Amino acid sequence: MIRSLLVATALCLSAPSLAKTVTVAPGADAQERLQEALILAEPGDVVELGAGRFDLVDGLSLDVDGVTIRGAGMDQTVLNFAGQLGAGEGLLVTSDHVVLRDFAIEDSKGDGIKSKGADDIVYYKIRVEWTRGPHPENGAYAIYPVESKNVLVDSVTTIGSSDAGIYVGQSENIIVRNSVARFNVAGIEIENSIGADVYNNIAVNNTGGILVFDLPNIPKQGGRNVRVFDNIVVDNNTPNFAPEGNIVAEVPTGMGIMVMSHYEVEVFENRLAENGTGNILIVSYTKGQDDPNYNPKPIGVRVFENIHGRAGYKPAFPGGDQLKAAFGGAIPPIIEDGTGENILIGDDVAILSMGLTAPGQPLTEAKPALIEGATEPFDGRQLTPITLPEAMEDAIR
């Protein structure tokens, strides 16, 4: 009670007038009516989207703090961007304390929903989908928070992104949970970010299930402190359909969880199976780069208490077939390139090292060999769980 009073007071202080609910129904002129509602909204307002299909011709955007956009459900309220003429995404959010919930974005020409510099943002029960299924001309990211502090992605569904379904980039303090990613190139990707918990998600039928990456020549670098746990990461064998030139085009088809050039990552209690290349891959940045501020290696990665099903039966990287034959039909479910530092693996499965000695070294120079993991089971939980401001959790209670 005290907490909700405090929240109410905070809203009153920031809002010039009493919060109101503005309802927008589908139908003629949906573009103008909805965009106008988003522009004229005031802090604390709810913009309520009626059930049905909104046929939109341009990207939408929200730049007012403290606004909630709420639909009638992720299958009831659909923002259809098949006829989109302009803008790089379906919906762009550039303000703080925004809650997006209970609606769907379909067939946007670029990204689905992008939130940039939008702190304390909540995505809840949102569906973003390219309805034709995997296709290289689908938009890159379905859910795309970037350069933001405090990000909550909960109970969303993403389908068909030509890059990543849920992509959190250059952000801090992130939770991605209870969500489903299917038929994307990358199901969930945390990139160049600090502090993320990714848990209780289902990543199936992607090219790669869950990626934790840190890339060079990006304003925010030094990705660290990411926990990936309690996820189901199964059957991620959709052939990579990312446009070349993008880093995810490098993800081998059949990947479960992939960690690339990152500090402090914990991967535990996940259920991984039927990923043709491997369940877990830990590598350095694979391309040449000359960024003096960049660490290309994975440093401080702990893998433990995961449950592994079949994997490695269709390794999709150069030399994979020979390796598969050498291992009698399937390579080990955990693979590292050999360049990482402080990599601790406690799972009771075989581990393959590619025996590389430097980041960027070509796989043709690999010296693959089985390596020993931890001799005893261990508890690698060292990172602090992510907590978000209470108002963000309250928004979805």
Contact footprint for other proteins (CB under 8 A): 31-33, 35-36, 38-40, 57-59, 61-63, 84-88, 92, 94, 108-111, 116-117, 136-141, 144, 146-147, 162-163, 167, 169-170, 215, 217-220, 243-247, 287, 291
Which residue carries 């039927």 as its tokens? 274
Report in angstroms how near the CB of residue 85 gets to other proteins at its nearest: 6
Query: Residue 63 or residue 305: which is nearer to other proteins going by CB?
Result: 63
Report in angstroms how near the CB of residue 384 gets to other proteins at its nearest: 26
- The neighbouring-strand residues paired with 23 are 48
CB 75 within 8 A of CB 104: yes
Query: Residue 85 or residue 369: which is nearer to other proteins going by CB?
Result: 85
Q: Encoding tokens for residue 147?
A: 């350069």
d(CA 101, CA 86): 24
Report in angstroms how near the CB of residue 68 gets to other proteins at its nearest: 17
Report in angstroms how near the CB of residue 189 gets to other proteins at its nearest: 10
d(CA 126, CA 220): 27
Query: Residue 153 or residue 267: which is nearer to other proteins going by CB?
Result: 153
Report in angstroms how near the CB of residue 115 gets to other proteins at its nearest: 11
Query: Residue 220 or residue 381: which is nearer to other proteins going by CB?
Result: 220
> Residue 148: which of 166, 171, 168, 169 has the closest Cα?
171
d(CA 107, CA 206): 18
Query: Residue 37 or residue 383: which is nearer to other proteins going by CB?
Result: 37
Mapped to the 3 state alphabet, what secondary structure does the chain carry? CHHHHHHHHHHHHHCCCCCCEEEECCCCCHHHHHHHHHHHCCCCCEEEECCEEEECCEEEEECCCCCEEECCCCCCEEEECCCCCEEEEEEEECCCCCEEEEEEEECCCCEEEEEECCCCEEEEEEEEECCCCCCCCCCCEEEEEECCEEEEEECCEEECCCCEEEEEECCEEEEEECCEEECCCEEEEEECCEEEEEECCEEECCCEEEEEECCCCCCCCCCEEEEEECCEEECCCCCCCCCCCCHHHHCCCCEEEEEECCEEEEEECCEEECECCEEEEEECCCCCCCCCCCCCCCEEEEEECCEECCECCCCCCCCHHHHHHHCCCCCCCEEECCCCEEEEECCCCCEEECCCCCCCCCHHHCCCEEECCCCCCCCCCCCCCCCCCHHHHHCCC
Report in angstroms how near the CB of residue 88 gets to other proteins at its nearest: 4
Report in angstroms how near the CB of residue 6 gets to other proteins at its nearest: 26
Report in angstroms how near the CB of residue 138 gets to other proteins at its nearest: 8
Amino acid at 72: A
Report in angstroms how near the CB of residue 241 gets to other proteins at its nearest: 10
Query: Residue 67 or residue 280: which is nearer to other proteins going by CB?
Result: 67
Query: Residue 25 or residue 85: which is nearer to other proteins going by CB?
Result: 85
Query: Residue 137 or residue 365: which is nearer to other proteins going by CB?
Result: 137
Report in angstroms how near the CB of residue 94 gets to other proteins at its nearest: 7
Query: Residue 207 or residue 306: which is nearer to other proteins going by CB?
Result: 207
